Amino acid sequence: MDVPIDNPPDKTKTSSFWKRSRLIVLTLLAVYFLSFGGGYLAGKMEWVGLARVRTSKLYDLNRNFELKVPVYGGLLQAYKAWERPKLYGYIFNGKGAKALLLVFFNNWIVANLTMVIRAGTLVPMLLYPYARFVQGLTFSQMPATFQIWGTLLSEFGGYLLTICGTLCALFWTLFYRRFGFGSRKAAFRSGLLAFGLFFGLSGFFLLLGSYLETMSVIGMSLR
């Protein structure tokens, strides 16, 4: 006599997760590489001047959007006013481990929270191609050192993952039928799990980026 299995193991969970998230992930990757590559090429070919871009209102809006968010903007400014002197105090007093932990906290928690706010409100995401273009333009003017490019790649992996997780949670919940969910509640629950997974993975990349960033700052302080 066959014994019925009430909850057979779902062998398609991984494929279902990728199927639902791949549009968001691949779109962000394409936008990132095309925008960053375009900015880098424009800088190397001297088609666009970085100094002129940095004086534009669009640049200022993109750079300071989160500071305009009620409550969060004020808290972020207060945190930055506390954090900078603290970080340099650790560095110049030879407390490299504490400096690394603070940089990692800044990148994984504070900066990632900003990424969540930007992605969750959607409007700043319209500026995402512009921001990556400016990033590429900036890096085109910098020496190709291991620390600089290593930090870029590490933070790229970290922040992009957090944005992907946020957008998955948002779009899966809003358009749950489009993404193959039976209910909005199930989509929301899966979206939170996806966000947790992406956010956790971002910590790995940002830890590496934080280490390179801290070593770079310490190195400059010793010159």
- For residue range 58-96, list pLDDT tens digits in order: 888 888 888 888 888 999 999 999 999 999 899 888 898
Distance (Å) of CA 118 to CA 17, 82, 127: 23, 23, 10
User: Domain for residue 55, yes or no?
Assistant: yes
Measured CA to CA, the distance from residue 50 to residue 47 in angstroms comes to 10
Backbone angles phi, psi at 222, to 5 degrees: -90, -10
Q: Where are the alpha helices (DSSP H) in the chain?
A: 13-44, 50-54, 57-64, 72-92, 96-105, 112-121, 128-139, 146-174, 184-221
Q: Virtual CA dihedral for 109, 116, 153, 142, nearest 10 degrees?
A: -90
Least Cα distance to 140 among 52, 44, 59, 49 occurs for 44
User: Domain for residue 7, yes or no?
Assistant: no
User: Domain for residue 10, yes or no?
Assistant: no
The domain tally of the chain equals: 1
User: Domain for residue 62, yes or no?
Assistant: yes
Measured CA to CA, the distance from residue 24 to residue 173 in angstroms comes to 14
Measured CA to CA, the distance from residue 1 to residue 124 in angstroms comes to 60
| Confidence bin at 11 (pLDDT 50/70/90) | low
User: Domain for residue 9, yes or no?
Assistant: no
Lowest mean pLDDT among 11-20, 31-40, 171-180: 11-20
User: Domain for residue 89, yes or no?
Assistant: yes
Measured CA to CA, the distance from residue 39 to residue 33 in angstroms comes to 10
- What are the pLDDT digits (tens) for 101-122? 999 999 999 999 999 988 988 8
Structural domain of 208:
29-221
Segment 38-49 mean pLDDT = 94
User: Domain for residue 175, yes or no?
Assistant: yes
Region of residue 11 (left: phi > 0; alpha: psi -120 to 50; beta: else): alpha
| Confidence bin at 191 (pLDDT 50/70/90) | very high
Q: What is the CA radius of gyration of the chain?
A: 20
User: Domain for residue 180, yes or no?
Assistant: yes
Tokens of 7: 């909850």
